[in-house]
Amino acid sequence: MVHIKNYINGELLEPASKKYLDNFDPSRGKVYSYIPDSDEQDVEKAVAAAKAAFPAWSITPKDQRSKYLLKIASLIGKNLDRLAQAESIDNGKPLKLAKTVDIPRAAANFHFYGTGILHYAAHAHSMEDTAINYTLRQPVGVAGCISPWNLPLYLFTWKIAPALAAGCTVVAKPSEVTPMTAYLLSELCIEAGLPAGVLNIVHGLGGKVGNAIVSHKEVPLISFTGGTKTGAHIASIAAPMFKKMSLELGGKNPNIIFADCDYDKMLATTLHSSFSNQGQICLCGSRIFVEKHLYDKFKKDFVEQTKKMVVGAPMDEKTRVGAVVSKPHMEKVLSYIELAQKEGGKILCGGKQVNVGGEFSEGYYIEPTIIEGLPHDCRTNQEEIFGPVVTIMPFEKEEEVLMWANSTVYGLASTVWTENLTRAHRVAQNIHAGIVWINCWLLRDLRTPFGGVKSSGVGREGGFEAIEFFTEPKNVCIKLK
């Protein structure tokens, strides 16, 4: 079985402790590789390497930094099949999804920032004939990048690529639940000839490795994606140290369906926005509000289509819903289904663990689940479940549905279905969320600001927002007379 290694100062290294953690294949419920159980000593080494590499990397001309990023993008593309397979085994997601979404997007992240940095320009402010101000944007230093398990390589590279493009060096930690593609990425960075210490990847537990990165005094900037509770913990350490922080956290996204929508488009997309990646995308619409006179028709069709979704082994072409990521996560999702019933919810379909049989009989599979009959303010409708579970609710008035949609502590993404242009703009304006999709879902332009409001996070990723996050502005004022 593979023993994953840390990537520090350009080398693949064992953890200082020489200890390893089990890495599970969720589709089989079995250990299939080992993860370094790293600690502060490994983080110390990684930060020292990143610090030593910073002066040279930060003044490496943009077009040369760009070449490294583009080379990595191309290597990810060349290794698409191998990486997709690894992602699918590590995470439980359908291979098809890894092949068409996760890995192409990881390559796109490097490509986007490898070219984007060439076009970034800072500002100048003229004071007519008195003075001129120009703003230098200088890379902050060693960036700490911490990512979750749901879109492992996709979200890992979404942080690393802009950090490297901006001239920061990086100490990164992927989720201990899905470390494999980050390990394969370190091999590709070596192949690309990325200078030693520019990117360092330390594997291990959040409480040890993550904590050591966040609290390290030589890491002035933290880019974190993960749960809201972890984000609050990180902020409690990083804020008193006055670190720059970008926190991309949990969500409980509303999907608002008006009766005048393009019905077929809405139904097909709602199946995706509910159950893609087993509902484990922070942007999935888990609370579905449907205008009252469309409710019965929608309910019938949505349940019928959902029942047709094949739950099965990730490698199987027919599979639409693979395994959820881990046993504890499966148990958490099932406990929410139980809670929903206690709160008075009625299960319209799904609701149970599935045994898909054969070598996959120990895997962590859950039927796509639809629940109705719950009020907007019960726990099931307020807390993030992060699994293949949605609730459906009828509404009568726009004001009422906006109040329900905005009633959680979260504010990440939202979806609105209507053919009424005026209403679409009005609702978009009044939703408390960082992202509003009208008549679509997960349509991503990497230039747009990405992030949430309220407990869904602080700061924005994407486009030049990320370049600005990884750089510090310095104003230079020159008197002209």
Residue number with CB closer to ligand NAD (227 or 394): 227
249 binds ligand NAD (CB under 6 A): yes
Contact 352, 127 (CB under 8 A): no
Nearest to 6 by CA among 44, 50, 38: 38
282 is catalytic: yes
Q: Report DSSP state, residue 63.
A: H
Residue number with CB closer to ligand NAD (45 or 173): 173
Contact 459, 244 (CB under 8 A): no
Q: Of the ranges 99-107, 114-122, 205-213, 437-445, which one interacts with ligand NAD (CB under 6 A)?
A: 205-213
Q: Which of 168, 189, 261, 282 is catalytic?
A: 282
189 is catalytic: no
What is the H or E stretch that residue 229 is in? helix 228-238
384 binds ligand NAD (CB under 6 A): yes
179 binds ligand NAD (CB under 6 A): no
The DSSP secondary structure of 377-427, one letter per residue, reads TSHHHHS---SSEEEEEEE--HHHHHHHHTTSS--SEEEEE-S-HHHHHHH
Of 50, 103, 107, 146, the one binding ligand NAD (CB under 6 A) is 146
Residue number with CB closer to ligand NAD (245 or 267): 245
Contact 235, 222 (CB under 8 A): no
Residue number with CB closer to ligand NAD (294 or 435): 435
Q: Report angle CA 90, 156, 108 to the nearest 5 degrees.
A: 105
- The site string for ligand NAD over 357-376 (x = CB under 6 A, - otherwise) reads --------------------
230 binds ligand NAD (CB under 6 A): yes
Phi and psi dihedrals of 254, rounded to 5?
A: -85, 145
**What separation in angstroms does the CA of 67 have from each of 70, 147, 196, 446?**
5, 25, 16, 19
Residue 291 CA neighbour count, 13 Å, CB half: 14
Contact 333, 366 (CB under 8 A): yes
CB 222 → ligand NAD: shortest distance, Å? 9
Of 206, 279, 314, 411, the one binding ligand NAD (CB under 6 A) is 206
Q: Which of 176, 248, 291, 372 is catalytic?
A: 248
Q: Which structure tokens are listed for 257?
A: 């369906």
248 binds ligand NAD (CB under 6 A): yes
Residue number with CB closer to ligand NAD (116 or 387): 387
- The site string for ligand NAD over 308-347 (x = CB under 6 A, - otherwise) reads ----------------------------------------
Residue number with CB closer to ligand NAD (66 or 178): 178
Provide the residue count of the chain.
481
Of 116, 220, 226, 254, the one binding ligand NAD (CB under 6 A) is 226
Q: Is 73 exposed, middle or buried (0-12, 13-18, 19+ CB in 10 A)?
A: buried
User: Which residues are near ligand NAD by CB under 6 A?
Assistant: 146-150, 155, 173, 175-176, 206-207, 210-211, 214, 225-227, 230, 233-234, 248-251, 282, 384, 386, 412, 452, 457
By annotation, the residues acting in catalysis are: 248, 282
